[in-house]
Amino acid sequence: MATAQSTETEIETANFNDGWSWIPNWPDIFNGQYDQWLQYVESAKKGQKILIATCIGGNSALTPIESLLCVALTLRGAEVHVLLCDKALPACTNALAIEFEDQKTFIEGGPTKCDWCFASGVRAYKDLNLPVHLLSQYSTDIDKREAKEIAEQIPFADIQLYKENDVAIGEHAVAGALRYFARGDFNGEPYAEAIIRKYLESGILSSRSINKLYEKEGYKATLVNHGIYVPQGLVIEAAKKYKSPVALWYPSYRNKCVSIFPVVDNFETAMLTANNDFWEAMPWNAEMEQDIADYLASRVKGTYDWIKSQAIDGPTELGEIATQIGIDYSKPTIGLLTNVAWDAQVFYPSNALPSMFDWLMKTIKYFESRPDMQLLIRVHPGELTGYVISRQLAVDEIKRMFSSLPPNVFIIPPDSPINTYPAMMPCKAILVYATTAGLEFACMGFPVIVSGEASIRNKGFSYDASSETEYISLLDKLPSLPGRLSSEKISLARKFAYHTFFRKMIPLSMLEPQDSTYVPYTIKRVGLDGLMPGQDFGLDIICDGVLNNTDFIYPYEDYQKLGVAAKSGAIDSSSLYQHVPAVKV
């Protein structure tokens, strides 16, 4: 077992120009209580052993929060271990394609940010004095040779199906390569095969190393980001094998919030399957309905969000929008909202149609035969505004398939300043493949037709197509379908939205958002006391979920009521968390 300090000499002598302003300065955050922290680390060595699988340390959106959770879990008695890649992998989630020359460099030498990435991870954890495991410690020369040989010799058609000890390494490798290319497929990529093979080699190495780590340490719980790709997806596979309950997390839309899901089966079910009992059975009242209505209205400008992709300064007046698009809103119009094509492409079931692009092309073709209606396509702004910039743009795919668009089909490109919400308001129905925006429009009463694996599928308020025939049958019913959703279905949609945006997005008060893509937030100097149990309700819920394998649900409705009572002086705001009942089903 290594510690973060073991690589300190290498880091201090390295010449990095990227900066580390996003990495938490834990002695400073502890605010004079560092010696007390070391005592907690020592006493926690008798506690429940937990792995926080940061893996790729050079991620300013993920690593700081994972180091925060290391601290919080240690203070609650857990023996927390960390996993980092120490420049051991030939491919990972930090590698991204830009130009062909960069791809050739990647094929020949692997990722170019390894020194910085590893140093970033070490710096994030070095002052915590926790056990840090390095992937190379669990990889032998035989592993390296065999991984390379398998990746080079396996028939290309068999890569996605490749398994080792019943672990679907090939699927994670292909998903990782899709993310590298930022595409939904590999069409037109001359280096695709070589890079897929590189991810397979990395996946084999990762899987073997991680399995050896679990075999040695026997973790009682695991926390991991992403949940797919290489190497994070292989962490989930190993945890399942060794019966270590997994919590999958990522930063969520709402300001200072994270979302965490227990992985019961796999990535797809964790992300998309919501236990309906958790939200259908929750008490519902006018205040809760107003809360979610207000929040959804704020999404137009992202007022309460720290993850935004929507243009907020563009035209909002319908006449000006219509002029810019060239559309006549007096005619029956159907809205279509795309999603980012590459994200988790391999793992989401296709349902009605094989892919988002196939759905998009067949929909345009259908509307070519329906001149009685207009189709308004809003390409997801996240194609160009996300951390991973898409290299397969929906507009380019449409141009490739159609030399000229049908006269009743209109497109709002991803870089348009036109805001999605006002542009879609005159529509009779909304078509989605997998985007979360389908939920928002259902809450406003729009009939929403789902063709992919969107989170709203099978929730009782959307029209879910499970085959191409079923999808076309639903389109045939447009523009009536039979019209706006009933009040019962709108209420059902709003309950699910409340659960999604308020109860599954858990706030952490010590996060301080920054107006920077590179440094999305910092951690406040709250002292060791500010991170102890009872000081932050969101942190308590996350830790309880990890330690006790419970569902990560933040009872926003109860907390809001108590907040009002605290402001009135009816209860002591310093002990607010003590008055919130646990969520029960």
pLDDT in the model for residue 215: 97
pLDDT at 238 over 70: yes
Give strand pairing partners of 223: 52, 247
User: Distance between CA atoms of 271 and 259, rounded to whole angstroms?
Assistant: 10
pLDDT at 349 over 50: yes
Question: What would the 3-class secondary structure string for 471-521 be?
Answer: HHHHHHCCCCCCCCCCHHHHHHHHHHHHHHHHHCEEECCCEEECCCCCCCE
Q: Helix (H, G, I), strand (E, B), or coil: what is residue 340?
A: coil
pLDDT in tens, 117-147: 999 999 999 999 999 999 999 999 999 999 9
pLDDT at 484 over 80: yes
pLDDT in the model for residue 563: 53
Over residues 44-65, the mean pLDDT reads 96
Q: Which CATH superfamily hosts domain 276-503?
A: Glycogen Phosphorylase B; (3.40.50.2000)
276-503 and 2-98+110-141+208-272 share a CATH fold = yes
**Both structure tokens of 433:** 């493949």
Sheet of 131-134: strand order equals 2-3, 131-134, 79-84, 49-55, 221-225, 246-251, 257-263, 505-507
pLDDT at 183 over 50: yes
DSSP 8-class letter at 328: -
Over residues 292-319, the mean pLDDT reads 86
pLDDT at 181 over 70: yes
Q: Please, what is the average pLDDT of the chain?
A: 88
pLDDT-derived band at 350 (thresholds 50, 70, 90) equals low
pLDDT in the model for residue 448: 98
H/E element, 71: helix 63-75
DSSP 8-class letter at 14: S
Cα angle, residue 476 at apex, residues 473 and 478 outer, rounded to 5°: 125
pLDDT-derived band at 156 (thresholds 50, 70, 90) equals very high
Over residues 3-29, the mean pLDDT reads 63
pLDDT at 482 over 90: no
- Break the chain into its structural domains and give their ranges: 2-98+110-141+208-272, 276-503, 555-585
C-alpha distance across the termini of the chain, in Å:
41
pLDDT in the model for residue 561: 63
Percent of the chain scoring above 90 in pLDDT: 71
More confident residue, 269 or 298: 298
Task: Match domain 2-98+110-141+208-272 to its CATH number in 3.40.50.620, 3.40.50.300, 3.20.20.150, 3.30.2270.10.
Answer: 3.40.50.620
pLDDT in tens, 497-552: 999 999 999 999 999 998 877 788 999 999 999 999 989 989 999 999 999 998 89
pTM (two decimals): 0.91
